[in-house]
Amino acid sequence: MARPFTPKIVTANALLEGDVIYLSAQNTWVRDLSDAALFDQQDEAEARLAFAAKDGMIVGAYLVDAVQGENGPEPVHFREDFRRTGPSNHNHGKQAEL
């Protein structure tokens, strides 16, 4: 039996900066997870992933399980929650802003 579909977001890394980015509802890349589009249908999620993969300014696009939170999508898995905070080796990027 197939597993039920879990809502998804599309994530990747910006090619030049290396930042974690997310696909918005306007098909633009955003750096804040709360601005990401949450896809409730498998066909739409896969179509948006295919669209994103054609962008020459990103690398490693994939789908992430997520749920709708109070301020937008929230990742289901620890890895993605950790990833959105930025590099873990030094205070630079998103961590430098804190």
What pTM did the predictor assign? 0.80
Q: Which residues contact 73 (CB under 8 A, 6 or more apart)?
A: 7, 9, 33, 34, 36, 37, 38, 66, 67
- The structural domains of the chain, with segments of one domain joined by +, span 8-69+84-97
Residues whose CB falls within 8 Å of the CB of residue 10, separated by 6 or more in sequence, listed in order:
22, 23, 36, 37, 39, 45, 48, 49, 52, 61, 62, 63, 64
- Residue range 38-87, pLDDT digits in tens: 999 999 999 999 999 999 999 999 999 999 999 989 888 767 766 666 65
Is 60 exceeded by the pLDDT of residue 98? no
Residue 2 — pLDDT band, cuts 50, 70, 90? confident
CA distance linking residue 98 with residue 88, whole number of Å = 13
